[in-house]
Structure 1
Amino acid sequence: MIKFLQSFHAHWQKAKTVMAFIAPYKRQVAYSLVALFFTATIMLSIGQGIRLLIDRGLATHSAELLTQYMVMFILLIIALAVGTYTRYYWVTWLGERVVADIRCKVFDHLINLHPGFFENNRSLEIQSRLTADMTLLQTVIGSSVSVALRNFVMMLGGIVWLFITNAKLTALVLISVPLVITPILLFGRRVRRLSRQSQDRIAAVGAYIGEILGQIKTVQAYNHQEIDKRIFQRHVEDAFTTAKERTVQRALLISVVIILVFGAVGLVLWVGGMDVIAGQISGGELAAFVFYSVIVGSAVGSISEVLGELQRAAGAAERTVELLSAPSLIISPENPVSLPVVAGRIEIDRLCFAYPSRPDVLAINDLSLAIKAGEMLALVGPSGAGKSTLFDLLLRFFDPQSGSIRLEGIDIRQLEITSLRACFALVSQNPVLFYGSIDENLRYARPDASDAEIESAARAAYAHEFIISLPLGYRTQLGDAGLGLSGGQKQRIAIARAILADAPILLLDEATSALDAESEYWVQQALFKLMAKRTTIVIAHRLSTVKSADRIAVLNHGRLEALGTHTELMASSHLYARLASLQFEVQ
């Protein structure tokens, strides 16, 4: 009993979350309900129209009365059509509007979640939740709920009219009600469980498609197509198998309901026919009774089918609520400290950090380091030394387990996150560009930048010349991840974006290590301009970079192994001397 109550409470909370998105549209809900009750009333009135047509039209052999009741019947049909149009429009509008709001709410929540969340949750699977699950919710909110409610009203109204028409025959119909409800309860739980599994399988299919197509060059370069086809087919077959199991359960539910309901209708027809022969009821009453029996039977069958859709939607809603309720571990303090003018002074004090996915391995281990304003500090060390992790901590993508990072003497956890990150400009080794035009990619750093400011930044990054040589210049559309540009061109656009940001601190994951000689020259010229009068922390891959740095920090297993200039470290640090001879590329 306790488990049932806990399960009911959990499902109710999820339902409340979805209902909260419907609440702002009370007026549209009211329009839908009025149209729904209107159409249900008209449909129930048609039964009486049939009775009048038979008993007072056909039975009386009066052409005038028959015509009169036929006109009445046609007017009912027209009213039903108008009401159905109104109901369909507002219910569909409501479904589309609510799902659009949910999509925006989920995206707004996801885009502010800490990056660690996406280590444990595949972004492509989340993307599937925002598409496939939302489509299912739209169908349910914009159709299935309305159908269920309309059929519920029709069922109740039909039962009332059945009693009014003939109580004895109604008793026979009601015998089937508990027989119908029982399989709904039995199959409903199975359908819901399988629906959740089905949505998970579909999400896996979508995630795999996105991953493979996003890396299509690598796939084809390694002739991996046949293997990927087999893997994809396995994902599809898993989804099909689960969908087949769900379909079997729903089909069994619908079939049992149809047999029970229409079996009862057949029994009623036989009993009612015997009563007509005996003169106990009229033909019109029997016709009306059969009509209402069909209405009630169809309504019960439709409700049982819709309950299957609702079970599927419950799985989709559950996955959506999971995303909405996922907490962000990195948030701004309630009362953030205001930053003074940022010169770029950073102090790292006894910093310890382990990634959530590897809690027993310290990526940063008791690291202390003071970075002066305006200096260029190079970070060197073997793979896994903690260089990129330090960038993540400076940008507060993660919080350390102990120790602190202070900017201008203020612990960065006391600062508002957007204010903190506005102090940094990041240029990575693999530049990140987005689908869209070149000027849109440049404005990513400053959406309000003017065309003149964009051009000035591009000139400073030695990107203006190649941009204007493109057919549409700054309006040239780029493919996903900057498809259509060379590595050097992408890098210069990324540097122009950083120049446009005009942040006091530059985080540079050596941007020239993968470029040819000519591209490297122009990128280096752009970097020299970018680093001027800024505090620069660079993950170094080349000897020229470490030689030009004011100081070099040697990291090893998250610890600060040595600190000094190139000349000092060559003499004092065996690790640095080995890295200099083996790792750095000599120009």
Structure 2
Amino acid sequence: MTLVIEFIRPYRRAVAGALVALVFTAGITLSLGQGLRILVDQGLATESPENLAKAIGLFFILVLGLAFGSFARFYLVSWIGERVVADIRKRVFNHLIDLTPSFFEQNRALEIQSRFTADTTVLQSVIGSTVSIALRNTLMLIGGLGLLFITNAKLASIILLGFPLVIAPILFFGRRVRALSRLSQDRVADVGSYVGENLSQIKTVQAFNHQPHDRRFFAQVSEKAFDIARQRIRQRAWLTTLAISLVMGAVGIVIWIGGLDVISGQISPGELAAFVFYSLLVGVAAGAISEVIGELQRAAGSAARLFELLQTKPERGPAEGSGRLPTSVSGAIVLENLTFSYAGRDRQPALDQVCLAIEPGETVALVGPSGAGKSTLFDLLLGFYRLDAGSIRLDGVDTASVPLQDLRRCFALVPQNPALFHGTVADNIRYARPQASDAEIEQAARIAHADEFIRTLPEGYHTPLGDAGQGLSGGQKQRLAIARALLADAPVLLLDEATSALDAESEHLIQQAMPALTQGRTTLVIAHRLATVRDADRIAVFEEGKLLAVGRHDQLIQDNALYRRLARLQFREPRA
């Protein structure tokens, strides 16, 4: 919980105010016992209306103080809980979006999302409520014990004898509850991950009539989560039952012994009433503490899961590096013996000693079978992974030494499956340059041949899009991605299969937008359709991570067997 304290520390004044209110309300609650003693001994026992009125007046003053103190305590503690959890969420999110894609390849994104939502909700509940309850009842317990001894030391000693019997089960069950709480949170994350995964791919689920299997599997996942939760609940229930039974049992014995002392005249009825009040207060406080310990253990599990994310170090921070690119980047790229393997696949490099020099403003097409390393090259250019060997130089500067945020400003990416976000059409185009004006957005859309279809939408550029751009065709999404890349105005353009999944009309429109998109920019194009890259300045042929040949279409037809085979399959060209 050390890191939780770190988040609370900036709000020391609010914490101090909450503690003052907490001590104040606890003090008033404890004072009610003395008020009860006065009411019995000086009000009821004396049969004096004046004394009774004074005792009742004191009681109402204490009640008003308790009410106002409780308001301050509740407001401040709840505010601290909400404030701290908001800070934790921001810290976790800011950290997550800087982690490299390899982290998300090894961890389910939806499970991480569950941690981000469910675990922070648990922390909010604990910091904004449970901690306050625990502290208040701890004060009640300590103060009540002290007043028990002040009121009657003999009876208080009897109460105290029962405390070892309460502490032992709290320590025993507390450890078990914490372990089960962590496991329970993991199972809840599994449930959330499975739901999110299926709902995000609902068309595929329904197209293959997969619902019966999903229902069965989800039932199993849910039952596993329930079984762990049931074990945790049982441990907490035993913890609470034992604590209350033992403490209240001791209170019952005290009432019996105290009653005998009142009958014999050794103590007054008011003293016994006050003692019983404090005994009940101590018993309730002990029971509440034993109950909230389970919540605190659960929060510790949630905090551990969140801080696991915070303690995950990115392979390369966004501001890491001392290299500096020129003020105006021309887009010259040099790959020197570039070698890279994915984690766990060291024996099969995704790229193996690739050497290639690309001139500023040149259009180079990357072709080859699936798995040849073309998309991996794009990932390395964007700094998503560290190189195993070799280097990438942009305008003569080693990109490994350049801060990622500076490096990525030099690239505009148009992916095969455009990533569109929840928001308006304008928001999605503006994603490349958040400060862009409406006029700049519309100009980029016109060049990308997207303006026409955008204006037919219900609210034009302000039309909200569903998740992942639901409601738009593939060609429309691709044109929005091109408009976004135009708005980025980067010196290097990366086109990843930009037209592979489109119909002829959409492909034609996008091909019309290409000259404006590539003009004055270094352009790298991944393509399986060789017809789309025949006119490229050069074509680089990849296979199994190796660069086999570089040249123009006609030259490669003559000199490279792989390219000749690919061309023959697509163009039905005669054998050379």
Query: Per the shorter chain, which TM-score range?
Result: over 0.9
One-letter amino acid of the structure 2 residue matched with residue 410 of structure 1: V
Q: How does 1:357-368 map to 2 (within 5 A)?
A: 357-368=344-355
One-letter amino acid of the structure 2 residue matched with residue 181 of structure 1: I
The aligned counterpart of 1:494 is 481
The aligned counterpart of 1:262 is 248
Q: 2:62 aligns with which of 55, 70, 76?
A: 76
Q: Distance in 2 between matches of 1:294 and 1:132?
A: 36
Q: How does 1:107-122 map to 2 (within 5 A)?
A: 107-122=93-108
Q: Distance in 2 between matches of 1:364 and 1:298?
A: 67
Residues 1:126 and 2:112 are matched in the alignment? yes
The aligned counterpart of 2:495 is 508
SS in 1 for 2:47: coil
Closer/same/farther in 2, CA of residues 551 and 38 from structure 1, 3 Å limit: same
Residues 1:409 and 2:396 are matched in the alignment? yes
Closer/same/farther in 2, CA of residues 583 and 41 from structure 1, 3 Å limit: farther
Residue 136 (structure 1) shift: 0.4
Residues 1:103 and 2:81 are matched in the alignment? no
Q: Distance in 1 between matches of 2:513 and 2:252?
A: 85
The aligned counterpart of 2:423 is 436
Closer/same/farther in 2, CA of residues 574 and 95 from structure 1, 3 Å limit: same
When the two structures are aligned, how many residues end up with a matched partner? 572
Identity over aligned pairs, percent = 60
Residues 1:529 and 2:521 are matched in the alignment? no
Q: 1:295 aligns with which of 281, 296, 314?
A: 281
C-alpha contact (below 8 Å) 2:323/2:398 kept by paired residues: no
Structure 1: state its 5+ residue gaps. Answer: 1-14
Greater mean alpha carbon deviation, residues 232-241 or residues 40-49: 232-241
Residue 583 (structure 1) shift: 6.2
The aligned counterpart of 1:423 is 410
Q: 2:187 aligns with which of 179, 201, 224?
A: 201
Residue 524 (structure 1) shift: 0.9
Residue 585 (structure 1) shift: 10
Residues 1:45 and 2:45 are matched in the alignment? no
C-alpha contact (below 8 Å) 2:78/2:129 kept by paired residues: yes
Q: Distance in 2 between matches of 1:66 and 1:146?
A: 35
Greater mean alpha carbon deviation, residues 53-62 or residues 352-361: 352-361
C-alpha contact (below 8 Å) 2:321/2:400 kept by paired residues: no
Q: Distance in 2 between matches of 1:255 and 1:151?
A: 17
Q: Distance in 1 between matches of 2:530 and 2:45?
A: 106
Greater mean alpha carbon deviation, residues 561-570 or residues 452-461: 561-570
Residues 1:150 and 2:128 are matched in the alignment? no
Closer/same/farther in 2, CA of residues 490 and 533 from structure 1, 3 Å limit: same
Greater mean alpha carbon deviation, residues 356-365 or residues 343-352: 356-365
Residue 375 (structure 1) shift: 1.1
Q: 1:562 aligns with which of 517, 542, 549?
A: 549
C-alpha contact (below 8 Å) 2:183/2:228 kept by paired residues: yes
Q: 2:434 aligns with which of 427, 430, 447?
A: 447
SS in 2 for 1:422: helix
Residues 1:250 and 2:241 are matched in the alignment? no
Residues 1:182 and 2:168 are matched in the alignment? yes
C-alpha contact (below 8 Å) 1:339/1:415 kept by paired residues: no
SS in 1 for 2:533: helix
Q: Distance in 2 between matches of 1:294 and 1:477?
A: 59
One-letter amino acid of the structure 1 residue matched with residue 510 of structure 2: V
Residue 463 (structure 1) shift: 0.7
One-letter amino acid of the structure 2 residue matched with residue 198 of structure 1: S
C-alpha contact (below 8 Å) 2:363/2:538 kept by paired residues: yes
One-letter amino acid of the structure 2 residue matched with residue 581 of structure 1: R
SS in 2 for 1:547: coil
Q: 2:78 aligns with which of 92, 99, 106?
A: 92
Q: 1:385 aligns with which of 347, 353, 372?
A: 372
One-letter amino acid of the structure 2 residue matched with residue 390 of structure 1: L
The aligned counterpart of 2:456 is 469
C-alpha contact (below 8 Å) 2:368/2:528 kept by paired residues: no
Residue 545 (structure 1) shift: 2.0
Residue 361 (structure 1) shift: 2.6
Closer/same/farther in 2, CA of residues 42 and 131 from structure 1, 3 Å limit: same
Residues 1:230 and 2:216 are matched in the alignment? yes
SS in 2 for 1:379: strand
The aligned counterpart of 2:309 is 323
CA offset digits 1:155-197 (Å, max 9, x no partner):
1110111001100000100001111110111111110000000
Scaled by the length of structure 1, the TM-score of the pair is 0.96
Residue 357 (structure 1) shift: 4.4
The aligned counterpart of 2:146 is 160
Structure 2: state its 5+ residue gaps. Answer: none
SS in 2 for 1:355: coil
One-letter amino acid of the structure 2 residue matched with residue 427 of structure 1: V
C-alpha contact (below 8 Å) 2:184/2:225 kept by paired residues: yes
The aligned counterpart of 1:352 is 339
Residue 447 (structure 1) shift: 0.8
SS in 2 for 1:390: helix
CA offset digits 1:376-435 (Å, max 9, x no partner):
111111111101000000000001111100001110011121111111110011111111
CA offset digits 1:476-508 (Å, max 9, x no partner):
110000111111111101000101111111100
